[in-house]
Amino acid sequence: MLRKKPTAKKGLNIIIVGCGKIGSALLERLCKEEDSHDITVIDKDSERVQYFANQFDIMGIVGNGASYNIQLEAGIQHADLFIAVTRSDELNLLCCTVAKQVSDCATIARVCNPDYSKEVGYLQNKLGLAMIINPENEFAREVSKILAAPTALEVNSFAHGRAELIKIKIPEGNMLDGMTIAKMSSMIDVKSIICAVEKDGEVTIPSGAYVLHAGDIISVVLSKNDVKLFMETIGFKTKRVKDTMIIGGGKAAYYLAKRLMHMGINVKIIEKDRARCEELSVLLPKAIIINGDGTDRELLREEGIHKTESFVPITGIDEENIILTLHARQLSDTKIVTKVNRTSFKDVISSLELGSVVYPRYFTTEAIIAYVRAKTNSMDSNIETLYHMYDHRVEAIEFVVQKESSVTNVELRNLKLKKNLLVCCINRNGNIIIPSGDDTIQVNDSVIIVTIHSGFKDIQDILQ
């Protein structure tokens, strides 16, 4: 057992089982939170436990996370939150079941097997889990939203899907080039708000006087029903792709293909493992399954890479995905979404201008971070949704306002808001409001704010 130095406890007592891709990403995010969480990791790999215990100054235990004695050694009796994110669904569920027998802590399990995905509600209810997370399914959800609006780099949803935050890059010759945000708002008959702009690597929460230029990457919040009209008005294509080519036939490919076919998009999957191809042909009878090496240029040409409207390389190797993306970009202007697991070279990847790059582990960590912040908060609101944008330099948070406070029933223009923060959207009984200074926040509203500040846990944190 490796112990950290005792510190003043302000946050939660958290136990994480599994130091793989998800566990390490989660550790990194939790240790950057403003609250000093007391974190313990459990893994069978002694070298990984030693590495993370030293890197993050946490307690590490080598052993089986489903073991009653190992959990006792980790302090399960005093835990507030227990998270099992090993590669085994069954082990994660067993870990959480054992933890619930010893403690009244909240439990979260990573469950990815499609066989279990149909039973998530049942498992969560019967096992008393606070949350079940499925990175592959969340990846598929995000990619399907991007392919539904192919000119967008990212699409994030709020207000139970009623509002969207879309990220786009202003091309040369576009009407927005040289225009202030205030002028854009007056010219376009669509309620929207530009909440963040990245220019030359710098991110800004802009005012109405901000002048947009070609090459700027902007994030816009608006009602989902207005996305198509907004994109058409500013000169972007809005036609949903008709087909997609997926390289790699793992769980993420299955979940993505299933979603895309439900949207009416034709799917072709290239997978080199013959047995997996046979499985996919049964699971996805309407998809075209090709047994072959997706990195074979001649095979890609024969299967029509130059004609496909979208291309999604999701092999298990980041380098292969990036090379396939660069190859596809040379052949056509097809919409490409690239899956990248490792985050240590994000600056290099960003310089390659790959377009839409998706990091599956972030979907998992952000859902858990939102839960952790909500659990540490005992004030006037709760976090419904949390997204990190622009390499974690910007946070978009959706708060549910539970009772009256210093931010309710006051016109937004009269609230003393922190700098570098925008109140972007209010969901009131299902009606999406893109607010002006005359609007107010009411009890039971869900409110979306975008800020370069971090660590917000309550709606009142928006005030100076």
Give the model confidence (pLDDT) of 99-119 as tens digits: 999 999 999 999 999 888 888
pLDDT at 344: 67
The residues of the chain that CATH labels 3.30.70.1450 are: 139-233, 363-462
CA–CA dist 312, 335 (Å, integer):
9
Over residues 120-178, the pLDDT tens digits come to: 889 899 999 999 999 899 899 989 988 988 888 899 899 988 999 999 999 999 999 99
> What DSSP designation does 110 have?
E
- Assigned token pair, 46: 């002694």
Starting at the edge strand found earlier in the chain, the sheet holding 59-62 runs 59-62, 38-43, 13-17, 81-84, 106-110, 131-133
For residue 8, the model assigns a pLDDT of: 43
Across the range 398-403, mean pLDDT stands at 92
Q: What is the CATH number of domain 243-358?
A: 3.40.50.720
364-377 per-position pLDDT tens digit: 888 888 888 888 77
Q: What angle do CA 295, 300, 302 make, to 5 degrees?
A: 145
* More confident call, 277 vs 362: 277
Confidence check: pLDDT of 428 > 60:
yes
For residue 427, name the pLDDT band (cuts at 50, 70, 90): very high
379: confidence class by pLDDT, cuts 50, 70, 90: low
pLDDT of residue 1: 57
Average pLDDT in the chain:
90
At residue 9, does pLDDT exceed 80?
A: no
The residues of the chain that CATH labels 3.40.50.720 are 13-133, 243-358
Please answer whether residues 200 and 427 qualify as being in contact, where contact means their C-beta atoms are separated by less than 8 angstroms. no
Whole-prediction pTM: 0.84
Q: What is the pLDDT of residues 340-349, one digit of tens each?
A: 887 666 667 7
One DSSP character per residue, 177-221 reads TT-BHHHHHHH--S-EEEEEEEETTEEE---TTPBP-TT-EEEEE
- CATH of segment(s) 13-133: 3.40.50.720
Range 200-211 burial, b when 16+ CB lie within 10 A, else e: eeebebbeeebe
Residue 62 has which token pair? 């080598």
> Could you report the per-residue pLDDT of 138-147, keeping only the tens digit for each?
899 989 988 9
Class of the CATH-defined domain 363-462: alpha beta
Select the CATH number that applies to the domain covering 139-233 from these four: 3.30.2270.10, 3.65.10.10, 3.90.1200.10, 3.30.70.1450: 3.30.70.1450
Predicted local confidence at residue 6, as pLDDT = 44
Tokens found for residue 325: 């993306």
